[in-house]
């Protein structure tokens, strides 16, 4: 494991402690934190930050999970899931163009 991937793995675990399944925060606060983490990570990934690109699947997954836990199968969940899917496509397109 390289230093870069070790850092990414630790950052991912720290995110799980903060807003993932191990958090002590309320579901609403966890959802807010997951949304903030996702927005920040997405912006960095779109700017070409390699560490953010590595973290994005975990951070996006946490957002989708918390949205499902908080809103169940409502339209809000599906809207978030669809937004995340579109954002992932944007990051992929950006990476392809840069390659």
pTM: 0.76
- Rounded to an integer, the average pLDDT of 20-32 is 75
Confidence at residue 2, expressed as pLDDT on a 0 to 100 scale: 73
Determine the Cα–Cα distance for residues 67 and 37; give it in Å rounded to an integer.
Answer: 13
Determine the Cα–Cα distance for residues 46 and 38; give it in Å rounded to an integer.
Answer: 12
- Rounded to an integer, the average pLDDT of 88-97 is 95
- Rounded to an integer, the average pLDDT of 4-14 is 76
- Selection from 66, 65, 49 nearest residue 7 by Cα: 49
The per-residue pLDDT for range 39-90, each reduced to its tens digit, is 999 999 999 999 999 999 999 999 999 999 999 889 999 999 999 999 999 9
Indicate whether 9 pLDDT > 80. Answer: no
């Amino acid at each position: 494991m390289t230093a870069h991937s070790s850092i990414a793995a630790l950052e991912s675990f720290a995110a799980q402690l903060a807003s993932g399944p191990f958090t002590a925060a309320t579901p609403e606060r966890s959802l807010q934190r997951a949304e903030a983490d996702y927005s920040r990570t997405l912006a960095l990934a779109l700017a070409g930050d390699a560490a953010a690109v590595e973290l994005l699947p975990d951070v996006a997954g946490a957002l989708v999970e918390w949205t499902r836990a908080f809103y169940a199968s409502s339209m809000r969940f599906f809207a978030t899931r669809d937004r995340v899917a579109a954002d992932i496509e944007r990051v992929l397109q950006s990476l392809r163009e840069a390659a």
